[in-house]
Amino acid sequence: MPPAAELRELQALARRLESLIEMRAAEENRLSSGVSTAAVRRSLEEHIAYLREEIKQTERLLQKHINHHPDLKEQSDPLDSIPGIGETTAALLLAEIVNIKQYKSARQVAAYAGLVPRERRSGTSVRGHARLSKIGNARLRKAL
């Protein structure tokens, strides 16, 4: 069953925010690479300022969207109460988790995000260190 319309809109806003943040980082990297031409520097600075405003606007739209949908708000409030998880991160998590109520434990959510350890073994002779499986939702991992 496809996600509800409010969830699809939340995902679209969250993915737009992710794109804007990536664009800002790219432009900031270009600016810090030592651009010597004044016109290019000015253009980069103006674009970065524009992207910062777009990021703020998109964050506001995310919060407004969550506040207008009681089910999303109900799922967002417990996430907001976790130290280190702000409103924007909670919105990004909700957009990728889809329905947190479908998981029975935090371990299941961690597995979905690809944040559980995976043992590396080859027969009886080769044993590697346990590493994160990274099989799962990359956007969710990135938000965390």
For residue 126, pLDDT beyond 70:
no
61 and 19 housed in the same domain: yes
State both tokens at 101: 């109520």
90 and 112 housed in the same domain: no
91 and 109 housed in the same domain: no
24 and 84 housed in the same domain: yes
91: domain range?
A: 1-99
| DSSP calls for 43-95 | HHHHHHHHHHHHHHHHHHHHHHHHHT-HHHHHHHHHHHTSTT--HHHHHHHHH
* Total number of domains in the chain: 2
| Closest to 116 measured CA to CA, from 104, 107, 124 | 107
pLDDT digits (tens, 9 = 90+) for 85-112: 888 888 888 888 877 777 787 777 777 7
* Confidence band of 35 (pLDDT split at 50, 70, 90): confident
Contact 103, 109 (CB under 8 A): yes
Residue 116, CA distances (Å) to 13, 17, 42, 85, 100 in order = 28, 27, 45, 20, 18
75 and 21 housed in the same domain: yes
89 and 120 housed in the same domain: no
pLDDT digits (tens, 9 = 90+) for 54-93: 999 999 999 999 999 998 888 888 888 888 888 888 888 8
